[in-house]
Structure 1
């Protein structure tokens, strides 16, 4: 597989806690496993992991929006 961003071909399988930022707030998405291109940090994930990450990102956005409304 070739990275669509940097063109590198070396991949490592890894689990990371990538950050998610929304409206100036930041959190970490825990235990995201996938293949990472070490040259640039771009990653690929399977569908189940991607769906979990998206659910957590949407939940974080809702949490931030709720905190803004309450403030």
Structure 2
């Protein structure tokens, strides 16, 4: 089973550029760099949706127990 690790929330952000329901670009970085990337992609691909969200770490429950 896969669960969210019980650790402090990561500081990295994931920026995604969407063409409809398909991700055409994905970039993960520290918040300041991710915001610059999001701004650049929004300018470059004005007609596409660009999202930014915190990175979540997913850990296999069996690995977390060991």
Q: Would you say same fold, with TM above 0.5? A: no
**Structure with the larger RCO, 1 or 2 (CA within 8 Å, 6+ apart):** 2
Q: Specify the TM-score bucket, using the shorter chain as the normaliser.
A: 0.3 to 0.5
Which structure shows the bigger proportion of residues in strand conformation?
A: 2
> TM-score normalized by structure 2?
0.34
Which structure shows the bigger proportion of residues in helix conformation?
A: 1
